[in-house]
Amino acid sequence: MVFADYGARWKLMRKLASVHLLGARALADWACVRRDEAKRLVRGMAEAAAAGREVVIPEVLVCALANIVGQITVSKRDMIVSLLTGAGLFNISDFVPALARLDLQGVQAKLRRIHNKFDELITKLLAEHAATAGDRAGRPDFVDRLRAAIGVDDEDGETITEVNIKGLIFDMFTAGTDTSSIIVEWAMTEMLRNPSVMARAQEEMDRVVGRGRLLQESDIPNLPYLQAVCKEAMRLHPSTPLSLPHFSFDECDVDIPGADGYRVPANTRLLINIYAIGRDPSAWEEPERFMPERFMPGGGAERVDPLGNYFELIPFGAGRRICAGKLAGMVFVQYFLGTLVHAFEWRVPGGGEEKIDMSETFGLALPKAVPLRALVTPRLEPAAYA
């Protein structure tokens, strides 16, 4: 679905994903899964704290999110990370299409190997899933609903195939794990470098949630500063800095009020620099500064949301090809960041918050080059971790 051409088949896959997995109703059905996984994450981190062990933030987050998306263990993460890094590597063929067949840098060969490995995994997963269909009688999951749609034509005469199902599962694992964990890791990094932001977020959660239980998704609407922190992290550190490549089949003109606009030739590959948009000094005051207050009342950007309605902040893209998982992404980021900040006190080993490595690894996604490691201390009542 992510890389499919716009058309009837793409519309069908997007509809199925939205209705059964990524829409508001489907997300509500998922809530208990996210809650249980958040509890397991917090308990594991509390055990690490008791043993004096460091927590590697991206590792615990990817494990939790992968378990939510499909109960795939962290040992499979190498395929997700390799794909997201490899898909965004500089490839001379992207800029000189005539060289594509030569694959001078071996990028295409590497991605084919990763794809084949993932295809084998999903094929095995689907076979095991089919063998246990009777266990889910009356409570079909996402794959059950997709299988039920095979051979059934929609209003455009399109139907879904086994290959399409594999593609959708592939999209869910790649788009639903590392991208969300990257934002949470960057947000935690910025909060450690800005203790006043961490303190204000924890004060808000203590006031709204208290210290007798873990944060719940139903608390998030009452936590505007947490929401502002997430928006600011998405502005400064978008998980896909150049969005996904787009392609123009026909020549078109893009009008820009007050500017010359663009003429895009047919058969052109297009990249949108989301990273630069989020740091544009004409749109943002002190754009290089991590300042969640800009999204609070009176901050100047309190009405701006990251869901494609304001072009100065488009971490999920915009228009009809906006990320289908934008609502799920917001839930993941807000819920897991809030849970971690609320449940623990944080410090960098050696007390070097101001020396945290802020370098990035460029790819389709933009993770930290050096994973964030931290020591945590439980800050809630003991019963909250039970």
Least confident of 227-241, 258-272, 337-351, 371-385: 258-272
According to the model, what pLDDT value does residue 203 have?
A: 99
Please give the tally of structural domains in the chain. 1
Q: Contact, 319 vs 313, CB < 8 A?
A: no
In a domain, 144, yes or no: yes
CATH number for position 158:
1.10.630.10
In a domain, 3, yes or no: no
Report the DSSP beta bridge partners of residue 247: 269
The response to whether 32 counts as a known ligand-binding position is no
In a domain, 355, yes or no: yes
In a domain, 2, yes or no: no
d(CA 89, CA 77): 19
> How far are the Cα atoms of 1, 10, 234, 359 from residue 7, in angstroms, in the given order?
11, 5, 30, 39
d(CA 201, CA 213): 16
Alpha carbon 365 to its chain centroid, in Å, reads: 9
Q: What digits encode the pLDDT tens for the residues 312-363?
A: 999 999 988 898 889 989 999 999 999 999 999 999 988 777 789 999 987 7
pLDDT at 84 > cutoff 90? no
> How far are the Cα atoms of 38, 74, 188, 284, 333 from residue 194, in angstroms, in the given order?
25, 30, 10, 19, 19
Of 193, 231, 213, 243, give the one whose Cα is nearest residue 346: 193
Rg (CA), the chain: 22
In a domain, 80, yes or no: yes
Q: Which residues constitute the domain of residue 103? A: 8-385
Q: Contact, 85 vs 364, CB < 8 A?
A: yes
Instruction: Tell me the pLDDT band of 299, cut-offs 50, 70 and 90.
Output: very high
According to the model, what pLDDT value does residue 114 have?
A: 66
According to the model, what pLDDT value does residue 100 have?
A: 52
Q: What digits encode the pLDDT tens for the residues 94-107?
A: 444 544 555 556 66
d(CA 141, CA 221): 28
In a domain, 89, yes or no: yes
Q: Angle at which helices 162-176 and 326-343 pack, to 10 degrees?
A: 40
Tell which wins on pLDDT, 181 or 3. Answer: 181
Instruction: Tell me the pLDDT band of 204, cut-offs 50, 70 and 90.
Output: very high
Report pTM. 0.82
d(CA 262, CA 255): 7
Q: What digits encode the pLDDT tens for the residues 116-172?
A: 777 776 777 677 777 777 776 767 777 777 787 887 777 778 888 888 888 787 777
Q: Contact, 63 vs 341, CB < 8 A?
A: no
